Amino acid sequence: LGVGASVGVRSLASIPLLPPAVAEFVKGAVEECKPSGVHVVTGTPEETANILAGLEKEGMVKKLPQYDNCWLARTDPKDVARVESKTVIVTKNQRDTIPIPAGGVKSQLGSWMSESDWQKAREERFPGCMAGRTMYVIPFSMGPVGSTLSKYGVQVTDSPYVVASMGIMTRMGTPVLKKLAEGVEFVRCQHSLGRPLPLKAPLVNSWPCNPDKVLISHLPDTRQILSFGSGYGGNSLLGKKCFALRIASRIAKDEGWLAEHMLILGITNPQGVKRYVAAAFPSACGKTNLAMMKPALPGWKVECVGDDIAWMKFDSQGKLRAINPENGFFGVAPGTSNRTNPYAMATIAKNTMFTNVGETSDGGVWWEGLDPPAASVTLTDWHGKTWKPGSSTPCAHPNSRFCAPAAQCPIIDSQWESEEGVPIDAIIFGGRRPEGKVIMHDPFAMRPFFGYNFGDYLAHWLSMESRKAPTQLPKIFHVNWFRKDATTGAFLWPGFGENARVLEWIFKRCSREREDEAAKKSIIGWLPEDGTINTKGLSGKVDMGALFDVPTTFWQKETKELRAYFTQQVGGDLPAQVEAELKALENRVHNPY
């Protein structure tokens, strides 16, 4: 029997091509979940076409005739996003997962579940959960197959939608199985929609899920992920946030590297000099737009290595090298347009799975942020109901997605699949600090994705400087594209392609020969010296003074808030170096230069 064929459970032993450790994992999952058959995924185009045809037949996806091989899925309205409250890390000791918060408040830095509670939760969910369904076995690689920076996984799932999406988001199938046959370690990923056949209740939108029983659990000590009840990407494509951030951050801690929620881009100046930059932004702060930027500065070029996750490790020369462990983009659709991100629009024109976007009567897709369709075209919203502009509800769900192959991006970097990774010269941290709103702390843009105690995570970052290799540490920068005029509420900075002007300054600072080159000292670090941000050709009047204003009263409040956050959320696990930095910052904001 060849790998890729579907077999009944009784003939499972007749899949001789599964490596022993994989076979043992699959056998255990079969015994627990009781599927009616097993299909080992090969990743061939023919297999993908068959999977999509099956999904179409079941009513789970719909072909979009306006594009080449594009599909639309509409989910159950109760299954539309990551579910943080039901996403847990399971370790023996709570403090391995999260710092113990002060005063009995709830930790914002992760959710811990005890081993005994998890075992009980598993027994309430997984036994017999795949009855009547096929179990798909997906061997996959995070990163190029064979790269020293890559890691491997095997996911079992009863969702063909997951198989189709994993084929875009990861390197999947027979080449990975060959690698696993060499005996390499792999992360064991078990996923079920939690709707065994025959159904006890009808499906909504032909979308199987079990929202009342959703649980996404991670066992970092044994490198396992078990996800139940949700078909939505972030909960079911286990290579993404579950493996590439939560489990990988723990592997990275154990092995001395970094797994981060960061884009990676290459930027080339008019003289042909190229640098690579990684950047961490919380969700909805423009990561994909920056990763695929069309620079407003003539002669500058940005190329995309990845838009969401970076795995970074120092090489033998002490240079930080990064890979994008993913193979596709799983981007938020609303707000993506030819104005904000023309390259993303070009990327998603073929071979793309759209989920919960609007549909046009001429066989296309639509969402908020796109130009209104022609008058003759009618729109259907993500619920499958007729929709008209001006309706009180959105046409596309705010978290609707496109899932598209990275190789289709017109500006994909030539080194995006480099086995040794690209050399990182700078790391940018970004966020928003809106006045008058409750501050949302999202440290390193990793708050929902830490695989272990945040205090230990900080200590791990700080340890990079003292690694044995002659480390060339990248320069660190911080940006906030979202500052507003205090009186009008308008954004001070136009953003999008104009952000290239900030990257140009960062480029200069990476090449600097003296510390104050193109920069002036402030209470929060080095700011651009007046006139060093290139404003030539900048459309509209930009108040550079307001952009670089550092109000001491604001920063006094900010340091107070930071102190309270660290005390309450991190407590005794806060590294001494971070405490010292905070003290120094407090001193500067109360005694400015």
Q: What is the largest distance, in Å, between two alpha-carbon atoms of the chain?
A: 76
Q: 380 has which bridge partners?
A: 359, 386
Sign of CA dihedral 72, 76, 79, 80: positive
DSSP string, 248-297: HHHHHHHHT-EEESEEEEEEE-TTS-EEEEEEE--TTSSHHHHHT---SS
H or E element, residue 305: strand 301-306
Which of the residues 74, 401, 447, 460 is marked catalytic? 401
Which of the residues 136, 152, 232, 343 is marked catalytic? 232
How far apart (Å, rounded) are the C-alpha atoms in residues 309 and 162?
20
What global pTM score does this model have? 0.96
pLDDT at 283: 78
Which of the residues 74, 133, 241, 319 is marked catalytic? 241
| Residue 402: φ, ψ to 5° | -115, 145
Which of the residues 34, 82, 125, 294 is marked catalytic? 82
pLDDT at 17: 77
- Does 241 qualify as catalytic in the annotation? yes
pLDDT at 436: 64
pLDDT at 21: 97
Q: With H, G, I as helix, E, B as strand and everything else as coil, classify residue 576.
A: helix
- Does 232 qualify as catalytic in the annotation? yes
pLDDT at 1: 29
By the 8 A CB rule, do 286 and 307 touch? Answer: no
- Does 261 qualify as catalytic in the annotation? yes
Indicate the burial class of 438 (C-beta count within 10 angstroms; 0-12, 13-18, 19 or more). exposed
- Does 304 qualify as catalytic in the annotation? no
Which of the residues 209, 285, 395, 409 is marked catalytic? 285
Which of the residues 107, 114, 206, 283 is marked catalytic? 283
- Does 285 qualify as catalytic in the annotation? yes
Which of the residues 79, 158, 308, 573 is marked catalytic? 308
Residuewise pLDDT in 10s, the chain (593 residues):
234 456 655 555 556 579 999 999 999 999 999 999 999 999 999 999 999 999 999 999 999 999 999 999 999 999 999 999 999 999 999 999 999 998 888 999 999 999 999 999 999 999 999 999 999 999 999 999 999 999 999 999 999 999 999 999 999 999 999 999 999 999 999 999 999 999 999 999 999 999 999 999 999 999 999 999 999 999 999 999 999 999 999 999 999 999 999 999 999 999 999 999 999 998 778 899 999 999 999 999 999 999 999 999 999 999 999 999 999 999 999 999 999 999 999 999 999 999 999 999 999 999 999 999 999 999 999 999 999 999 999 999 999 999 999 999 999 999 999 999 999 999 999 988 776 667 789 999 999 999 999 999 999 999 998 887 767 899 999 999 999 998 999 999 999 999 999 999 999 999 998 889 999 999 999 999 999 999 999 988 899 999 999 999 999 999 999 999 999 999 999 999 999 999 999 999 999 87
Which of the residues 261, 447, 501, 588 is marked catalytic? 261
How far apart (Å, rounded) are the C-alpha atoms in residues 178 and 197?
33
- Does 391 qualify as catalytic in the annotation? no
Task: Annotate 80-97 with three-state secondary structure.
Answer: CCCCHHHEEEECCCHHHH
Q: With H, G, I as helix, E, B as strand and everything else as coil, classify residue 588.
A: helix
By the 8 A CB rule, do 145 and 176 touch? Answer: yes
Q: What tokens were used for 338?
A: 């030819």
How far apart (Å, rounded) are the C-alpha atoms in residues 570 and 15?
49
How far apart (Å, rounded) are the C-alpha atoms in residues 4 and 51?
12
DSSP label at residue 204 = B
- Does 283 qualify as catalytic in the annotation? yes
Residues 6+ apart with CB under 8 A from 51: 160, 163, 164, 167
pLDDT at 285: 83
